[in-house]
Chain A
Amino acid sequence: MIRLLASNAILVGLVISVLGAILLPVAVNRGRRDWMMLGYAAVYTNFVLVTVATLALVWGLASHDFSISYVAQVGSRATPTFYGIISLWGALEGSIVFWAWVLGMYAAAVVWFNRKREGNLVPYAATTLLLVVLFFHILLVGPANPFHLVSPVPFDGPGPNPLLQNHILMAVHPPLLYLGYVGLTVPFAFAMGAMLSGEVASDDWIRLTRRWTIVAWGFLTAAIIAGMWWSYEVLGWGGYWAWDPVENASFIPWLTATAYLHSVMVQERRGMLKLWNLNLMVGTFVLTILGTFLTRSGIISSVHAFTQGTIGYYFLGFIAVVLLATLIMVAGNSDKLGSTGTLDSALSRDALFLMNNLFLTVFMFTVLIGTLFPLVAELVRGVKVSVGEPFFNRMSIPLMVGLLFLMGVGPALPWKRSTWPELRAKLIPGVILGLLLGAFGIWAGARNPYSILAFTFAGFAAAVNIGEFVSGANARVRAHGELWPVALSRLISGNRRRYGGYLSHLGIVLVAVGVSASATFRTEREATLQPGETITLAGKTLRLKGVWGREEKQRSVIGATMELLEGTKVVGVVEPRMNYYPTSAQPVPTPEVRTTWSGDIYLNLMAFKQDGSTATVKVIWEPLIPWIWFGGLVICLGAIVGVLPARKRVSAEADADGATVAAAGSAS
């Protein structure tokens, strides 16, 4: 019943997206506004239909309806309902359903917010969105259909992958990832719409797209950080990033989207880089699809795994169509994509954005070829090779350090041109804080040159970006006699995107400090203890109290109770565990993390004796790790500041640079 409802909803959605995608261009050609509205209605209707299908699948998972193939595949009566429901994104078919739902939502929102706009940009963007929707409907009726009938109906299922039901972050990370990934379809759709409608020469569409891009980028950033946190909390190795293909797939489009957020400003101010920005937008979208293809087709683990399913061919075909369509349209619009402006000076923010884009693009390319290389090597040489952390660290750390440096120089440079005295005044605090932090790093024991440089540039970038807030607010205080906090808040609300950007920069600095400190100063110790024995690391002493076992409904749990000592006093209890799920021979580690102001004590249970007489534990001292999570939060706050609507009276204001601060003040 539910199953039929859902599969019919998908089928009707497929038909409607085809009709809408045909109707909208026809409406544009005939100039029929009423038909256009009908086309928009197709977008809304599709959203309703995929919502029905998604809810049906959720209901199936919650009610253990094992006649639905997807539920039979990932469901289990023993799994707590909450984890049962979130296994919606635990396997291929469910995650495509969820993708289609998020895409339907974005498409409906884009059309709704722009429905009154004149011109042909929005109908063509809606057409593009419907065509992408169509692709996912095709997947859902074809290779990724979750609604097959299972007969006879099994009584129970195997349950979701143990790793996906072991931590609450699995309810957070995937939805954020989809909101980010799928959201990047919107700028792509606008890019296509702009080229189809010929509006690509005007920059109006860029302004329309900007906010959507920041929204998607913010979600993607949050998703990456949440994924790191999940990996840290669940996988038991005390790290948060292993350059695994799945991680890389989320990071690659983030890099190009970040590049776009910067280079688009050059287009807005100078009328330059139009073709480049189009490429970044289309490229980012293609990279999200490519990432999904790589991680979902099984091709990365081996080219031979690819042949097991057909879904890979669908993705490849789709990517080919997108690239071909882009090529044709860029060729058709080539007269409109030339630069209409020039640069004033090599020593300007505009020029620096070119370097920023170079670094981010090369970074993207490096991660991409590193991820693809095992595949290429297997095809070319017939030998399986691995490309893992040592390679990615070697190649990417110089790029990261370089980007950190640019992040400090960029905000100090004004648009157009700069003079040395001006620049010097802005850079001096940065240089001082940078040197201080670098020296602190050396004092604390850092010897790796990149690590020392990372601390130095982090301090540099922090001071310069904070300096932008301080000097801007000071200027307002001088000009209007406002109180400092008032001046600061008016400064930010007067140019949200700019100051949101600086705030995100500060978040990146926090992440960078957390990453370099934890990589440089991490210490660990492993010991097999009997009850009553202690292990000491980084001044923290832990005593084993005992080993215990517990049967739960869906798993059995072995845990070690350890007491955190200060002198002889017990100040806390930590219980690292191992969770055994019936579907997995390997236990799922469940480390316990104790956060302090200076870092985490990370405790993992490695092994134990059957009779509970010993436990082998690994203690890791992870300095400043919480800074990474907090930094992620700050980056996202920056994105939120950047997308909040500007106050009307100042929204038309140009970037409040130096002297124009006064003007922004009087306008508010």
Chain B
Amino acid sequence: MTGYRGLVRALLIGTVATSVAAAQAPALPAAPAGAPQDSGALRVQVQGTLSEAQKNDPKLEEMTKTVASELRCPVCQGLSIQDSPSELSQQMRTVVKEQLASGKSEQEVKDYFISKYGEWILLEPQPHGFNLLIYALPVLLVLGGAGFIVLLVKRWTAAPVAIAASGDATRTNDEIPE
């Protein structure tokens, strides 16, 4: 049984085996009951196939950044794996880079993560089908609202007669505070 801090450290560093951590961790209290445990089920498999040249390739890094910004960190509050400092995100970023280096397209990498986690892993819904709604509605609202305003302004500036006809003009003058 590892102390929770040892566990956390092992988890954090990734390279250190749990037993090593246990051996080196100072005497620490055991994990309290109900403390969150290793989120192992969410783990991804880092292959370790990146060459030194690939690790420092700026173009690959740029592509990785683009894809990583669109994938959600599974253990955070809505951060992308590009932004999240969590260990899982760092691993996922490496996986993204490895897959891109192996010749997969950005969409194929995203598809891989969708197959693993579901559509939820994308920080932005894919623009087709039902999802189109959230892209279309704001645009329609801007256009419709702008059209409405143009009509209103035209009516309000051009037709004091029309408003007088509706009976409102009678209260006009004494009630506008200046």
Contact = CB atoms under 8 A, between A and B. Distances in A.
Q: How large is the interface on A (under 10, 10 to 19, 20 to 34, 35 or more residues)?
A: 35 or more
Interface string B74-106: 010111100111110010000000000000000
Contact of B85 (A380, A585, A604): A604
Determine which residue in B39, B83, B125, B145 has the highest number of CB atoms from chain A within 10 A of its CB, and name it.
B125
A339 interface: yes
Contacts of B178: 269, 654
A388 B123 contact: yes
B85 A618 contact: yes
B54 interface: no
Interface in B117-174: 118-125, 130-131, 133-135, 137-138, 141-142, 145-146, 149, 152-154, 156-157, 160, 163, 166, 168-169, 171-172
B42 interface: no
B172 A341 contact: yes
Contacts of A608: 12-13
Contacts of B86: 586
Contacts of A447: none
A201 B172 CA distance: 12
Interface stretch (A362-370, A466-474, A538-546, A634-642): A362-370
B29 A342 contact: no
Interface stretch (A351-359, A405-413, A475-483): A351-359
Contacts of B70: 390
B7 interface: yes
Given A237-B79, A244-B77, 18 more contacts: A158-B32, A203-B177, A268-B177, A269-B176, A338-B166, A339-B156, A358-B146, A362-B145, A370-B134, A377-B131, A387-B124, A388-B72, A389-B123, A390-B70, A390-B124, A585-B39, A586-B36, A607-B12
A386 B121 contact: yes
Contacts of A607: 12-14, 87
Contacts of B16: 609-610
A361 B141 CA distance: 9
Contacts of B9: 610
A374 B168 CA distance: 46
A268 B135 CA distance: 36
Interface stretch (A48-56, A457-465, A576-584): A576-584
8 contacts: A207-B177, A358-B146, A369-B133, A373-B133, A377-B130, A383-B120, A385-B125, A654-B178
A343 B7 CA distance: 69
A582 B35 contact: yes
A271 interface: yes
Contacts of B84: 237
Interface in B37-69: 37-39, 69
Contacts of A236: 85
A342 B169 CA distance: 9
B134 to A, nearest CB: 5
A384 interface: yes
Nearest to B13: A607
Contact of A587 (B8, B26, B171): B8
Contacts of B7: 585
Nearest to B69: A390
B83 A385 contact: no
A170 to B, nearest CB: 15
A389 B138 contact: no
B12 A587 contact: yes
Interface of B: 4-5, 7-9, 11-14, 16, 20-21, 24-26, 28-29, 32, 35-39, 69-70, 72, 75, 77-80, 83-87, 90, 118-125, 130-131, 133-135, 137-138, 141-142, 145-146, 149, 152-154, 156-157, 160, 163, 166, 168-169, 171-172, 175-178
A391 B134 contact: yes
Contacts of B90: 606
B4 A585 contact: yes
Contacts of B37: 585
Contact of B35 (A346, A358, A386, A583): A583
B71 to A, nearest CB: 10
A235 B80 CA distance: 13
Determine which residue in B86, B119, B177 has the highest number of CB atoms from chain A within 10 A of its CB, and name it.
B177
Interface string A554-572: 0010000000000000000
B32 A583 contact: yes
A394 interface: yes
A352 to B, nearest CB: 10
Contact of B78 (A243, A384, A584): A243
A370 B134 CA distance: 7
A299 to B, nearest CB: 15
A236 B78 CA distance: 14
B156 A342 contact: yes
B36 A242 contact: no
A609 B169 CA distance: 79
A116 interface: no
Contact of A369 (B137, B156, B177): B137
Nearest to B154: A346
Determine which residue in B35, B69, B153 has the highest number of CB atoms from chain A within 10 A of its CB, and name it.
B153
A351 B16 CA distance: 65
A52 to B, nearest CB: 34
A422 interface: no
A362 B138 contact: yes
Contact of A387 (B25, B69, B134, B141): B134
A312 interface: no
B33 to A, nearest CB: 10
Contacts of A272: 156
Contacts of B4: 582, 585
Interface string A503-517: 000000000000000
